């Protein structure tokens, strides 16, 4: 299981959106309308808890620059608003992954019964393989 992370509140005034023109196919529309979004989020200047900021900065993700700025480009949709929501959801997902702390695994030993079942299965399998050998007359 995992340690439940408390709800992280992301303030929209800490996120900067820049409208840019999308790349790729889209006909004439792609050359005229700025529908793609560049999301910029400065980790150090955010209101996130300090331990979460550290975990975010330690994350090996190409969207996090060396100076601690998360840059997400969203251009999958044709509308600016849907791309904006897509970029925000990807930022929230990145923060949620950094906030997730798995519970450490405790080493356990196999039970006596499971050890016996394992060896019994191996013996049975070996017996089947012995029967596949040459038949002597």
Q: What pLDDT is stored for residue 83 in this prediction?
A: 92
Rg (CA), the chain: 27
For residue 27, is pLDDT > 70?
no
Cα(48)–Cα(42) distance, integer angstroms: 11
CA distances from 27 to 31, 36, 73, 79 (A): 8, 15, 20, 15
Using one digit for the tens of pLDDT, what is the confidence trace for 46-102?
888 889 889 888 888 888 888 989 999 998 888 889 999 999 999 999 999 988 888
Using one digit for the tens of pLDDT, what is the confidence trace for 36-60?
899 999 888 888 888 988 988 888 8
Domains of the chain (ranges; CATH) run 2-102 (3.30.160.20)
Give the tokens for residue 73.
Answer: 């480009």
């Amino acid at each position: 299981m995992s340690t439940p992370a408390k709800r992280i509140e992301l303030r929209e005034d800490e996120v900067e959106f820049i409208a840019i023109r999308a790349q790729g196919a889209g006909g004439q529309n792609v050359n005229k309308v700025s529908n793609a979004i560049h999301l910029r989020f400065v980790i150090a200047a955010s209101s996130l808890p300090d331990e979460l900021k550290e975990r975010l900065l330690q994350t090996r993700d190409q969207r996090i620059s060396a100076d601690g700025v998360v840059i997400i480009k969203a251009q999958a949709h044709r509308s600016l608003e849907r791309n904006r929501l897509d970029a925000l959801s990807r930022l929230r997902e990145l923060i949620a992954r950094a906030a997730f702390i798995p519970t450490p695994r405790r080493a356990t030993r196999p039970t006596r019964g499971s050890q016996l079942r394992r060896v019994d299965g191996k013996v049975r399998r070996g017996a089947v393989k012995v029967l596949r050998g040459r038949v002597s007359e």
